[in-house]
Amino acid sequence: MMRRVKVGSKVFNNLVARGDQGKMRLQKKVSGILEKVRTEGDTALIRYTKKFDKVELKRKDLRVTEAEISGAYQDIKPEIVSTLKEVIDNINKFYKNQVPKSWSMKHDSGVELGEKFVPIEKVGVYVPSGTVPLVSSVYMTVLPAVIAGVKKITLVSPPNKYNSIDPHILVMANLLKVDEIYKIGGAQAIGALAFGTKTVPKVDKIVGPGNEYVTEAKRQVFGYCDIDMLAGPSEVLIIANHHANIDYLKQDLMAQAEHHKGLAILVTPSKKVFNALRDDASIKGYLIKVKNLEEAAEVSNMIAPEHLQLMVKSPKRVAKNITNAGAIFLGQYSPVSLGDYVAGPSHVLPTGGTARYSSGLNLRSFMKSSHIISYSRKALCNSAGWVRNLTKLEKLEKHWESVSIRCE
């Protein structure tokens, strides 16, 4: 049954601050795993794989072989391969529009400034594989990296009971020309990517969702390498008024419950919607009644959801008031499931309220920029007075001398 929540109540404030809770025990446990991987390398990976995944590996087994990849094609249905290729095409079309261009501008005074964009060289992709293979996480993370021009992509995923990785994950990774695939999961896999081992290469950035151990490990290795985000449980907030189809609403809220610890929130100014769902025992989540759609947008911005659905007559009008959301789905026929699988944008999105200051995985997640600065002698000397004033203020005399010697 949906839990009714008042704006400003303790429960509401807990929803807004849902990503702030620390877990000291988890932090300590993950820290221990990472330290063992850093100091013991492959030996620690093999030990933790046996402990957590119940799979015994030797060092030579860590990397997936070409024969295993070829065999994976025999284990999946041809129509699945066809579907995966269609989805790849969809996502390609979206991300090709995000490619940033290097630029420059010139001043008459002899100053040229600009920005140069280059791809990150080495990226590690984590793909969860618990009870079912999350194939969508492969293409949602790898494809933007490929289009950005990343030179080397390493994928890691926990091994199954057959001492391999699910064939659907292997086929998708192969279709996207992933360079290397390793049978490791959990915090130990994140450690291997961040520190490198004799077998697993060190990367410059780690992307991809995972459980709380993976997320905590990513938090702790940030600095050794970059990470995409700290993704928590999946979440959806739906703003709906009397124009919304009640049956669609129910299904969208129940779909969220399929995620482990999934969070579903319905915000509505409509008595009709509120009364239709307030006592429905089949739905789990939170129900928030507001005065109007303007307040609904304010509430949504405070919660900053991963997925936001606008099931109203004029969703674009409401969307103008939205500032904090990972992805916004407009109208009755744009359920979150489309974004999860086929629409195009990555489903790796900010959770736990982090949409207040961060974005979903995108092409720029795999690129970095360098500022370009070029001055003529005349331009340098024209700026010398400003430099002199500021170096005096900050007492950095040698900084001034590096300019003045060029203008003598």
Q: Calculate the CA dihedral of residues 279, 285, 286, 292 and round it to 10 degrees.
A: -80
DSSP 183-223: ---HHHHHHHHHH--SSSPP-SEEE----HHHHHHHHHHBT
Task: Walk me through the domains of the chain, giving residue ranges and CATH numbers.
Answer: 2-19+233-344 (3.40.50.1980), 24-227 (3.40.50.1980), 377-404 (no CATH)
Residues with catalytic roles: 306-307
- Per-residue pLDDT 10s for the chain (408 aa) are 789 999 999 999 999 998 766 688 999 999 999 999 999 999 999 999 999 999 999 999 999 999 999 999 999 998 988 998 999 999 999 999 999 999 999 987 899 999 999 999 999 999 998 767 789 999 999 999 999 999 999 999 999 988 899 999 999 999 999 999 999 999 999 999 999 999 999 999 999 999 999 999 999 999 999 999 998 899 999 999 999 999 999 999 999 988 888 999 999 999 999 999 988 888 999 999 999 999 999 999 999 999 999 999 999 999 999 999 999 999 999 999 999 999 999 999 999 999 999 999 999 999 999 999 999 999 999 999 999 999 999 999 999 999 999 998
HSE-up of 232 (CA within 13 Å, CB side)?
Answer: 18
- With CA atoms as reference, report the closest residue to 116 among 373, 293, 331: 373
Radius of gyration from C-alpha coordinates of the chain: 25
pLDDT at 231: 87
d(CA 306, CA 260): 15
Contact 100, 367 (CB under 8 A): yes
